[in-house]
A = this chain, B = another copy of it.
Amino acid sequence: MPLPADIPEVVIDRLPIYYRWLARMDAEGRSTVSSQELGDALGVTPAQIRKDLAYFGRFGKQGSGYSVVRLVEELRLILGLNRRWRMVLVGVGRLGRAIASYQGFGPDGFDLVGVFDASEEEIGGEVGGITVRDVREMESSLGAEPADIGIVAVPAEAAQEVIDALVRAGVRSILNYAPITVQVPRGVRIRRIDPLLSLQSMTYHLSLETDERESAPLQASA
């Protein structure tokens, strides 16, 4: 592999989107695709797609475009989807249970291998087919059986503490569902899944539109 220099994060974020569409096309038997068509399907400019892919190699053929199978395979390698990843979940409230029972991660190479909670009532119980362990023994558990990714689904108040523990346990990538901004040391990667933030930025635009609509008659008559 070319093992690239430093690729902008935005580029990395788009690759899974390309990958998903291409994998679907591949499953449907499509053999080639142009940056134009891929871009049309995904709402991205063709130039951007070509630039993004060019960071990693020269996968296309002038005149015909990209081989779908080839590109799927390249993206699998680039994104590290050619192996399985071990995830642990912390928090088995409503949300944690929903995540644990979600069947959509497994087929893509993500295995839930551990579940932790702080509540006496949950510890020892079973969630998503896995026995819930005490979050206080998480650090030592992960020492013996490391995990690649931590999923945090605890209340906001507990999130920082849980994330600190995950980091101490050597987890370098965290998916945070708790509605709070937490600190992580350099080298640890954290992503938030926070629908409320999305809703609140959407209402900014909705409010603007309402204001415009209300003031439009005034402007028209002015």
Which residues on A are within 8 Å of B, measured CB to CB? 3, 12-13, 15-17, 19-21, 41-43, 78-81, 85, 94-95, 98, 101-102, 104-105, 108-110, 148-149, 172-173, 175, 179-181, 183, 189, 191, 193, 195-207, 209-211
Contacts and interface: CB of A to CB of B under 8 A. Distances in A.
B110 A199 contact: yes
B203 A80 contact: yes
In this complex, which of A3, A179, A181 has the most chain B Cβ atoms within 10 angstroms of its Cβ?
A181
Contacts of A20: 179-181, 197
Contacts of A98: 94-95, 98
B202 A173 contact: yes
Tally of this chain's copies: 2
The SS class assigned to the A binding surface is helix
B110 A181 contact: no
Contacts of A201: 12-13, 15-16, 79, 191
Contact of A191 (B94, B105, B179, B202): B202
